[in-house]
Amino acid sequence: MEKCKNEHSQSNQDIIEFIRGLYKTEGFIPLHEPRLAGNEKKYLLECIDSTFVSSVGKFVDQFESMIFDFTGARHAIATVNGTAALHVALKLVGVDAGDEVITQPLSFIATCNAISYCNAKPIFVDVDVDSMGMSPKSLRNFLSANTRQNLGVCVNIATGKKIAAVVPMHTFGLPCRIEEIEEICKEFNIPLVEDAAESLGSYVNGRHTGTFGRIGALSFNGNKTITTGGGGMIITNDPSLARRAKHITTTAKLPHPYEFIHDEVGYNYRLPNINAALGCAQMESLLSILRGKRELASEYENYFLEKNINFAEEIDGSHSNYWLNAIILEGRMQRDSFLKDLNDAGVMCRPIWRLMNNLKMFSNCQKADLSNAEWLEDRVVNIPSSSRIP
């Protein structure tokens, strides 16, 4: 046991030195920091000078246009953050109080929070080990064994509740098997809502993540591939969903020169112009950022292959943005040793999220066999992933 610990400690020291060499610094290395190397200051000053710093202004429209041009979606609606985008996306496909939504347990808390904001309840199916995203096999098995069709609506036999949506998440920017999931959702008459918060710049067979379902959600938090400080985006090819998304994210206010008339309960979820200004500048640098991230991932992949450590790669047919690089260690003991050694040395690393079904808020939710998610929870570590561009 002591020999094993010493071997791990030496291996961890080698990894620390390798990562410091990649980033050419002896100082603190964050997990992921934004790259603000373009027109960010220029556009922010322009926004300030215009006095249009809230949710009205040219940069909001421009940022939306840049996103739908890049992703290939027909419509994009900017929101204050990715959670707000996902919340509204769920509302738009008809998720109501008392409904159930199938998702994956291996995800950031925002996925389940957005479901909860609708007063709906998550159901957890397993993930695939290679993609770390929702497993089509687990999804199909659950639906086949536990649901029935009632006048074109998928109903949970055990609870009598409507299965109102399926929400897969593209973990760390690694696309899941979204095409298979899309087909299953069509077969069982369930709307597909993509949590693409982490996958701007990720594709499956040439098609951008977030565009496979009826609607998708992106995030531009400070640690994402590009950032608006805080911010999100709803993307869809459905013009009616897009119109309604813009309406309810702007407090459901009817157009009028001066009267305040609202026709339903809405949300104050529109992205401020000052944040969108930052996003426009970031979009101008996106291709360079993505190139830098793939180069970094390639160097990690080659290094960890020599050390016989599994580096999380994109699956066949997919193209990842490699937002957060991840390695898969032997077990929880090696994982914990790795995390302590690297963080103590000022090289920020973190474990994958606690499984959602193990959090007290969601501990009583229905679940499938989650063996893959449980296996990954014990082993996956994120390592520094900032794009190395000037």
Would you tell me which CATH number, out of the four given (3.40.50.261, 3.20.20.70, 3.40.640.10, 3.40.50.10680), belongs to the domain 40-284? 3.40.640.10
Q: Residue 167's beta-bridge partner residues? A: 103
| C-alpha separations of 307 from 123, 165, 333 in Å | 38, 42, 18
159-189 pLDDT, tens digit per residue, is: 999 999 999 999 999 999 999 999 999 999 9
pLDDT of residue 55: 83
User: Taking the domains of the chain in order of start, what are their residue ranges?
Assistant: 2-34+286-383, 40-284
220/232 Cα distance (integer angstroms)? 6
91-150 pLDDT, tens digit per residue, is: 999 999 999 999 999 999 999 999 999 999 999 999 999 999 999 999 999 999 999 999
319/199 Cα distance (integer angstroms)? 10
Contact 198, 169 (CB under 8 A): yes
CB-CB neighbours of 302 under 10 Å: 10
pLDDT band, very low/low/confident/very high, at 9 (cuts 50, 70, 90): confident
326/368 Cα distance (integer angstroms)? 25
CA 120 to chain centre: 20
Select from 31, 58, 101 the least CA-distant residue to 279. Answer: 58
Assess whether the region 2-34+286-383 and the region 40-284 belong to the same CATH fold: no
Phi, psi of 62, rounded to the nearest 5 degrees:
-65, -40
Q: Residue 264's beta-bridge partner residues? A: none
CB-CB neighbours of 113 under 10 Å: 15
Task: Give the CA angle between residues 229, 233, 237 to the nearest 5°.
Answer: 165
Contact 217, 76 (CB under 8 A): no
pLDDT band, very low/low/confident/very high, at 4 (cuts 50, 70, 90): low
The model's pTM is: 0.95
308-358 pLDDT, tens digit per residue, is: 999 999 999 999 999 999 999 999 999 999 999 999 999 999 999 999 999
Architecture (CATH level 2) of domain 2-34+286-383: Alpha-Beta Complex (3.90)
pLDDT of residue 200: 98
> 293: which residues sit within 8 A by CB, 6+ positions away?
225, 321, 322, 323, 385, 387
| C-alpha separations of 47 from 39, 79, 102, 221, 293 in Å | 12, 18, 41, 20, 29
